[in-house]
Structure 1
Amino acid sequence: MQEVAPKEAVAEFVDATKRFGDVLAADRMTLRVRRGEFLSFLGPSGCGKTTALRMLAGFEAPTSGQVLIDGQDVSGIPAHRRPVNMVFQHYALFPHMTVAENVGYGLRQRRPRLPRAEIAEKVARSLATVRLDAFTERRIWELSGGQQQRVALARAIINEPKLLLLDEPMAALDAKLRGEMQRELLDLQRSLGITFVLVTHDQEEALSMSDRICIMGKGRIAQIGTPQDLYDRPRTRYVADFVGKANVIEAEVERVTGDAAVIRLPGGDAARVVCMPDEQRRAVAVAVRPEALRLAASDAIAPEGAAMLPARVTHRTFLGDHTEYLLRHEGIGALQVNVPRQADRATGGHDVGAEVHVLWEPGAGLVLTSDD
């Protein structure tokens, strides 16, 4: 097998499969992890994302296929001999040790033994990086959840790993602190230049932090791309449903012109959508984001090229920066439309039970491929 040049990838899965008895946890995974990127594995419980991370870490070996680091097959190399460190969900810190002792623990286990002065210098530098240099003598139980996470990060980066693996490290934090730590973690990754690989089920976390996101489902890679690519161009219903919110509608294609199609919606309304170029099917599923639709009064006139779908408001929820409307269309069924606060205030809003029109601008929807 041809080795991967360091400038191309720091790690790679090559047809990596992992079975636990009859359970197929990872199914022929093939993926390159680029050097210096922030990559996230995103998916629901049981999708295979944690198994992928553990194969990189060395806690699991693939049943078949390979895991490469810098072009070398590490499938048989134990975790402690890999240039990889991991931050666990519950941090795995030693409560009887000080912050400095926790951070320096790995260095003290090295053989040949490092000089104490060198260990102390590395510990101080690592704690300064995560802004905990004033907490060296604190005990773990004296720290907040965010501070404990920083200790775990300092312990992980002190060995200057080629890969830093993060197993849902912010799951135990409250919403406000989680947002702060996401920004700090991203700043840390940018300053260190280390490749970060995150496992999460939180789509907002993945979207806000990642250079690329790998959507996992049933042990397979469903789609990989930048956050914007995955949000704007999901290929399947599974990805459209998992990344953000989407109205997924069954429709029929009337005609295709270039990368656009005219579809006929249930109820007879026609709309123009973006069409995946390899699709030749007549019956299709179309995804349209709630913010891509607009609401208008029932007597409004449709702008040129837009479709107007008559609907009734069933729920209205104020969410601060926008109002979430749930509607019922006779042919489609349930629809969700998110209206920015300023636009909602300008129209006076729409009460539950009101008859309205949903405006579908040309190109608002995207034809999806099969989940198979």
Structure 2
Amino acid sequence: MIQDLKVTEASCAHVSTNDTVAEFAGATKRFGAILAADRIDLSIRRGEFLSFLGPSGCGKTTALRMLAGFDSPTEGAVLIDGQDVSAVPAHLRPVNMVFQHYALFPHMTVAQNVGYGLRQRRPRLSKSEIAQKTDKALATVRLAEFGTRRIWELSGGQQQRVALARAIINEPQILLLDEPMAALDAKLRGEMQRELLELQRSLNITFVLVTHDQEEALSMSDRICIMAKGRIMQVGSPQDLYDRPRCRYVADFVGKANIVTGQIDGRHGGTAQAILGNGATVILRDLPGDSRHTVEIAVRPEALSVAAQNLPLTEGTAALPARVTHRTFLGDRIEYLLTVEGIGQLQVNAPRQAGGALGEHMVGSLVHVLWPEGTGLVLADDS
């Protein structure tokens, strides 16, 4: 079922337009018996920030390397500006790459590292032109006073900026980023994410990021490509992927989701009525065209709420009797883990300002999980 949905997303992948800077057209990559990328169809829009997101071994880095020119597709093609570049070597493509460990030259100064690519150009640029472009690139990443320093004299964040300056100095059409913030601590990673996004907007060139960090992808990307086992599972904006995951894999991977099984008991307009394992009836957003009777349903923890069992209910809201198993205070919210007979465990995230007294709903309390009408989404099969 996901394969059909992927074709819809990629239906324009074989037709280059002014808005398309690069394309994967049925790109497949095998390493012996290992299928690393499986018929990838994807159009990358000019000037967008696109992220490939998925766990280790899902094919995201293979896709990036095919776009960079470090690997050639076994089948299919990679196109840039409508031209098949599958056999074009990396140094002849209008792309540059920032590696996870930056690959800076320790024997060179910062300025020498940044200007390295320009010194390899043929015909040669003049020393003054290289110096001018190097100064401009360093100023862009806010390292204008660091040109004479050695790499080991820089912090991790500063080294990342040097790698970025070296990549943008050649004015690539596409900048590729292979988990460039994986080595940074959490606080510095957040700062660099904001700086990288500001840099992309100021340069107005296409950024393609590979990451396994969902928060990083959600906070930075115009679109995210979710991958698993070499295949594209879903492509969309961060909000689309969070609000309308198409399958269990995407719902589970992007954010947190409660996934329960239900029986479809009727449809009306854009909603479906489902009976859960404990006999409760909930009203869901429907999946158009889905005719299954037994379905998997995803509902986000913040879409549910916890209430005392004697609280009056809003019409259309289902109340599921539950017991509080765990309660975690996280400052801005309280995370509840609740056991619901016939369903299992559900997580509910309650905003602190909406929760009333912090002493409510302690571990062991008998409560109701409130499931509002129209909450929850029927999922397609992962296959």
What TM-score do you get using the length of structure 2 for normalisation? 0.95
The C-alpha deviation readout for 1:235-279, integer Å capped at 9, x for no partner, is 000000000000000100000112200100011000001011021
Using the TM superposition, give the Cα deviation of residue 346 of structure 1 relative to its aligned residue in structure 2, in angstroms.
4.2
Query: Any gaps of 5 or more consecutive residues in structure 1?
Result: none
Q: Which residue of 1 aligns with 2:25?
A: 14
Equivalence map 1:220-239=2 (5 Å) = 220-239=231-250
AA in 2 matched with 1:337: V
Q: Which residue of 1 aligns with 2:321?
A: 310
Q: Which residue of 1 aligns with 2:36?
A: 25
Q: Which residue of 2 aligns with 1:159?
A: 170
* Contact 2:282–2:318 (Cα < 8 Å) also in 1: yes
Q: Give SS of 2:138's match.
A: helix
Aligned CA distance change for structure 1 residues 112 and 3 (closer, same or farther; 3 Å): farther
Range that drifts further, 343-352 or 36-45: 343-352
Query: Any gaps of 5 or more consecutive residues in structure 2?
Result: 1-12
Counterparts of 1:272 and 1:345, CA distance in 2 = 27
Could you tell me the percent identity over the aligned residues? Answer: 72
Aligned CA distance change for structure 1 residues 6 and 127 (closer, same or farther; 3 Å): farther
Counterparts of 1:138 and 1:192, CA distance in 2 = 25
1:111 aligns with 2:111: no
Q: Which residue of 2 aligns with 1:269?
A: 280
Counterparts of 1:13 and 1:68, CA distance in 2 = 7
Q: Which residue of 2 aligns with 1:62?
A: 73
Q: Give SS of 1:12's match.
A: strand
* Contact 1:3–1:72 (Cα < 8 Å) also in 2: no
Q: Which residue of 1 aligns with 2:188?
A: 177
Using the TM superposition, give the Cα deviation of residue 299 of structure 1 relative to its aligned residue in structure 2, in angstroms.
1.6
Counterparts of 1:280 and 1:259, CA distance in 2 = 14
Counterparts of 1:298 and 1:139, CA distance in 2 = 65
Counterparts of 1:142 and 1:253, CA distance in 2 = 63
The C-alpha deviation readout for 1:275-303, integer Å capped at 9, x for no partner, is 11021111000000000000001222221
Counterparts of 2:123 and 2:61, CA distance in 1 = 33
Q: Which residue of 2 aligns with 1:365?
A: 376
Counterparts of 1:165 and 1:345, CA distance in 2 = 47
1:283 aligns with 2:294: yes
AA in 2 matched with 1:252: Q
Counterparts of 2:15 and 2:199, CA distance in 1 = 27
Displaced runs of 4+ in structure 1, greater than 2 A?
2-6, 344-349
Using the TM superposition, give the Cα deviation of residue 344 of structure 1 relative to its aligned residue in structure 2, in angstroms.
2.3
The C-alpha deviation readout for 1:327-367, integer Å capped at 9, x for no partner, is 10011101000011112244643111111100000111000
* Contact 1:57–1:165 (Cα < 8 Å) also in 2: yes
Given the alignment, which residue of 321, 326, 331 partners 2:337?
Answer: 326
Given the alignment, which residue of 158, 168, 187 partners 2:198?
Answer: 187
1:139 aligns with 2:150: yes
Given the alignment, which residue of 20, 29, 45 partners 1:34?
Answer: 45
The C-alpha deviation readout for 1:78-116, integer Å capped at 9, x for no partner, is 101100000000100011111101000111111221100
Counterparts of 2:367 and 2:115, CA distance in 1 = 63
Q: Give SS of 1:207's match.
A: helix
What TM-score do you get using the length of structure 1 for normalisation? 0.98
AA in 1 matched with 2:79: L
AA in 2 matched with 1:219: G
AA in 2 matched with 1:36: G
Counterparts of 1:6 and 1:90, CA distance in 2 = 35
Using the TM superposition, give the Cα deviation of residue 321 of structure 1 relative to its aligned residue in structure 2, in angstroms.
1.1
Q: Which residue of 1 aligns with 2:93?
A: 82
Q: Give SS of 1:10's match.
A: strand
Using the TM superposition, give the Cα deviation of residue 6 of structure 1 relative to its aligned residue in structure 2, in angstroms.
4.9
Using the TM superposition, give the Cα deviation of residue 214 of structure 1 relative to its aligned residue in structure 2, in angstroms.
0.3
1:43 aligns with 2:54: yes
AA in 1 matched with 2:291: Q
AA in 1 matched with 2:197: L
AA in 2 matched with 1:197: V
Counterparts of 2:229 and 2:140, CA distance in 1 = 38
* Contact 2:14–2:25 (Cα < 8 Å) also in 1: no
Counterparts of 1:152 and 1:345, CA distance in 2 = 49
Q: Which residue of 2 aligns with 1:335?
A: 346
AA in 2 matched with 1:33: I
Q: Which residue of 1 aligns with 2:215?
A: 204
Counterparts of 1:141 and 1:92, CA distance in 2 = 13
AA in 2 matched with 1:325: Y
Counterparts of 1:83 and 1:165, CA distance in 2 = 11
AA in 1 matched with 2:300: R
1:94 aligns with 2:108: no
* Contact 1:6–1:35 (Cα < 8 Å) also in 2: no
Aligned-residue Cα RMSD (Å) equals: 1.3
